[in-house]
Amino acid sequence: MKAYFLTILIGLFYGHDLLAQLYATENGKAKFEATMPFNSYDGSSDQLQGMINLETNVVEFSLPVKSIKTGIDKRDNDMYELLNVEQNPNVLFKGSLIDNYKKENRKQIVKVKGDFTLAGVTRQVTITGSLEPVKNGLKLIADWSLRITDYNVERPSILFVKVDDKHDLSISVLLK
Protein backbone atom coordinates (compact mmCIF):
# COMPACT_ATOMS: atom_id res chain seq x y z
CA MET A 1 0.00 0.00 0.00
CA LYS A 2 2.87 2.38 0.84
CA ALA A 3 4.52 1.66 -2.52
CA TYR A 4 1.25 2.42 -4.34
CA PHE A 5 0.83 5.73 -2.49
CA LEU A 6 4.48 6.65 -3.15
CA THR A 7 4.08 5.87 -6.88
CA ILE A 8 1.03 8.14 -7.10
CA LEU A 9 2.82 10.90 -5.20
CA ILE A 10 5.87 10.72 -7.49
CA GLY A 11 3.62 10.69 -10.57
CA LEU A 12 1.78 13.78 -9.37
CA PHE A 13 5.03 15.59 -8.60
CA TYR A 14 6.68 14.86 -11.94
CA GLY A 15 3.45 15.30 -13.89
CA HIS A 16 3.09 18.82 -12.48
CA ASP A 17 6.69 19.57 -13.45
CA LEU A 18 6.00 18.54 -17.05
CA LEU A 19 2.83 20.63 -17.18
CA ALA A 20 4.82 23.60 -15.90
CA GLN A 21 6.97 23.38 -19.04
CA LEU A 22 4.06 24.19 -21.40
CA TYR A 23 3.06 27.84 -21.76
CA ALA A 24 0.21 29.03 -24.00
CA THR A 25 -1.83 32.08 -24.98
CA GLU A 26 -5.02 32.81 -26.85
CA ASN A 27 -4.82 36.61 -26.86
CA GLY A 28 -1.28 37.67 -27.70
CA LYS A 29 -0.63 40.87 -29.60
CA ALA A 30 0.80 40.97 -33.12
CA LYS A 31 1.63 44.04 -35.17
CA PHE A 32 3.06 44.89 -38.59
CA GLU A 33 4.33 48.15 -40.03
CA ALA A 34 4.54 48.96 -43.73
CA THR A 35 6.17 52.04 -45.20
CA MET A 36 6.08 53.87 -48.47
CA PRO A 37 7.50 57.21 -49.58
CA PHE A 38 5.91 59.95 -47.46
CA ASN A 39 3.64 57.57 -45.55
CA SER A 40 3.44 54.49 -43.37
CA TYR A 41 0.70 52.42 -41.80
CA ASP A 42 0.38 49.55 -39.41
CA GLY A 43 -1.99 46.78 -38.53
CA SER A 44 -2.51 44.93 -35.30
CA SER A 45 -4.38 42.08 -33.69
CA ASP A 46 -4.90 40.83 -30.16
CA GLN A 47 -5.83 37.30 -31.25
CA LEU A 48 -2.40 35.67 -31.55
CA GLN A 49 -2.66 32.09 -30.30
CA GLY A 50 0.19 29.77 -29.55
CA MET A 51 2.42 27.89 -27.20
CA ILE A 52 5.97 27.19 -26.16
CA ASN A 53 6.88 23.79 -24.74
CA LEU A 54 10.12 24.20 -22.81
CA GLU A 55 10.46 20.43 -22.41
CA THR A 56 10.54 19.77 -26.18
CA ASN A 57 11.53 23.30 -27.35
CA VAL A 58 8.52 23.32 -29.72
CA VAL A 59 7.11 26.76 -30.57
CA GLU A 60 3.83 27.24 -32.47
CA PHE A 61 1.76 30.35 -33.18
CA SER A 62 -1.28 31.12 -35.30
CA LEU A 63 -2.94 34.45 -36.14
CA PRO A 64 -6.32 34.75 -37.90
CA VAL A 65 -5.71 37.12 -40.82
CA LYS A 66 -9.15 38.68 -40.46
CA SER A 67 -8.28 39.72 -36.90
CA ILE A 68 -5.64 42.15 -38.26
CA LYS A 69 -6.98 45.69 -38.40
CA THR A 70 -5.33 48.81 -39.85
CA GLY A 71 -8.01 51.30 -38.91
CA ILE A 72 -9.35 51.62 -42.46
CA ASP A 73 -11.90 49.01 -43.54
CA LYS A 74 -11.09 49.28 -47.27
CA ARG A 75 -7.38 48.79 -46.61
CA ASP A 76 -8.21 45.79 -44.39
CA ASN A 77 -10.33 44.21 -47.13
CA ASP A 78 -7.62 44.86 -49.74
CA MET A 79 -5.07 43.22 -47.41
CA TYR A 80 -7.33 40.19 -46.90
CA GLU A 81 -7.66 39.84 -50.67
CA LEU A 82 -3.88 40.12 -51.22
CA LEU A 83 -3.31 37.45 -48.57
CA ASN A 84 -6.00 35.23 -50.12
CA VAL A 85 -7.70 34.89 -46.74
CA GLU A 86 -10.43 32.55 -47.98
CA GLN A 87 -7.85 29.85 -48.74
CA ASN A 88 -5.28 30.92 -46.13
CA PRO A 89 -7.16 32.15 -43.07
CA ASN A 90 -4.14 32.11 -40.73
CA VAL A 91 -0.56 33.30 -40.53
CA LEU A 92 1.41 30.42 -38.99
CA PHE A 93 4.73 29.75 -37.32
CA LYS A 94 5.93 26.31 -36.30
CA GLY A 95 9.46 25.76 -35.13
CA SER A 96 11.70 25.28 -32.15
CA LEU A 97 13.91 27.13 -29.72
CA ILE A 98 17.48 26.96 -30.98
CA ASP A 99 18.97 27.35 -27.51
CA ASN A 100 17.58 25.83 -24.34
CA TYR A 101 15.76 28.37 -22.21
CA LYS A 102 16.76 28.36 -18.57
CA LYS A 103 14.04 29.68 -16.32
CA GLU A 104 16.23 31.62 -13.89
CA ASN A 105 13.90 34.51 -13.04
CA ARG A 106 15.56 36.81 -15.52
CA LYS A 107 15.02 37.99 -19.06
CA GLN A 108 16.87 35.95 -21.69
CA ILE A 109 17.45 36.45 -25.39
CA VAL A 110 16.19 33.44 -27.34
CA LYS A 111 16.17 32.39 -30.99
CA VAL A 112 13.60 30.28 -32.74
CA LYS A 113 13.97 28.64 -36.12
CA GLY A 114 11.08 27.29 -38.09
CA ASP A 115 8.49 27.61 -40.82
CA PHE A 116 6.63 30.91 -41.20
CA THR A 117 3.58 30.70 -43.46
CA LEU A 118 1.95 33.77 -44.99
CA ALA A 119 -0.66 33.64 -47.76
CA GLY A 120 -0.08 29.91 -48.14
CA VAL A 121 3.67 30.25 -48.79
CA THR A 122 6.09 28.83 -46.23
CA ARG A 123 9.65 30.02 -45.68
CA GLN A 124 12.16 29.03 -43.03
CA VAL A 125 13.04 31.92 -40.71
CA THR A 126 15.12 32.55 -37.62
CA ILE A 127 13.64 35.06 -35.18
CA THR A 128 15.31 36.61 -32.13
CA GLY A 129 13.24 37.63 -29.15
CA SER A 130 13.19 37.68 -25.39
CA LEU A 131 11.54 35.47 -22.78
CA GLU A 132 11.09 36.80 -19.29
CA PRO A 133 9.56 35.06 -16.28
CA VAL A 134 6.71 37.15 -14.85
CA LYS A 135 4.25 36.55 -12.04
CA ASN A 136 1.69 34.73 -14.20
CA GLY A 137 3.98 32.93 -16.67
CA LEU A 138 6.41 34.04 -19.37
CA LYS A 139 6.51 37.28 -21.35
CA LEU A 140 7.59 36.83 -24.99
CA ILE A 141 8.58 39.79 -27.15
CA ALA A 142 9.98 39.45 -30.68
CA ASP A 143 10.60 41.75 -33.65
CA TRP A 144 11.66 40.81 -37.17
CA SER A 145 11.27 41.85 -40.79
CA LEU A 146 10.19 40.05 -43.91
CA ARG A 147 9.79 40.81 -47.59
CA ILE A 148 6.20 40.24 -48.64
CA THR A 149 7.25 39.33 -52.18
CA ASP A 150 9.11 36.33 -50.69
CA TYR A 151 5.62 35.03 -49.89
CA ASN A 152 4.24 35.79 -53.37
CA VAL A 153 2.27 38.75 -52.01
CA GLU A 154 1.99 41.64 -54.44
CA ARG A 155 3.14 44.98 -53.07
CA PRO A 156 0.06 47.18 -52.66
CA SER A 157 0.10 50.68 -54.11
CA ILE A 158 -1.66 53.97 -53.58
CA LEU A 159 -1.82 56.25 -56.64
CA PHE A 160 0.94 54.26 -58.38
CA VAL A 161 3.27 54.49 -55.35
CA LYS A 162 4.07 51.01 -54.07
CA VAL A 163 4.42 50.02 -50.45
CA ASP A 164 7.95 48.93 -49.53
CA ASP A 165 8.61 45.23 -49.87
CA LYS A 166 10.01 45.04 -46.33
CA HIS A 167 7.46 44.85 -43.52
CA ASP A 168 8.36 44.95 -39.83
CA LEU A 169 6.55 42.52 -37.54
CA SER A 170 6.38 42.24 -33.78
CA ILE A 171 4.64 40.15 -31.17
CA SER A 172 4.08 40.65 -27.46
CA VAL A 173 2.63 37.70 -25.60
CA LEU A 174 1.93 36.65 -22.03
CA LEU A 175 2.21 32.86 -21.95
CA LYS A 176 0.61 31.09 -18.99
Summarised one tens digit per residue, pLDDT across range 56-67 is: 999 999 999 999
Low-confidence winner among 18-27, 39-48, 94-103, 150-159 (lowest mean pLDDT): 18-27
Summarised one tens digit per residue, pLDDT across range 19-46 is: 458 999 999 999 999 998 878 899 999 9
* Of 92, 101, 167, nearest in space to 140 by CA: 101
Report the distance separating Cα 73 and Cα 1, nearest Å: 67
For residue 33, give the H/E element and its range. Answer: strand 22-36
Contact between 107 and 132 under an 8 Å Cβ cutoff? The reply is yes
Strands 22-36 and 121-134: unpaired
For residue 13, give the H/E element and its range. Answer: helix 2-19
Residue 140, pLDDT above cutoff 50: yes
For residue 12, give the H/E element and its range. Answer: helix 2-19
Residue 53, pLDDT above cutoff 80: yes
What lies within 8 Å, CB to CB, of 156 at 6+ separation is 78, 79, 82, 162, 163
Contact between 28 and 48 under an 8 Å Cβ cutoff? The reply is yes
Superfamily of domain 23-175: Lipid/polyisoprenoid-binding, YceI-like (2.40.128.110)
Identity at 89, one-letter amino acid code:
P
Strand partners, 95: 59, 114
Across the range 145-161, mean pLDDT stands at 91
DSSP string across 104-120: SSS-EEEEEEEEEEETT
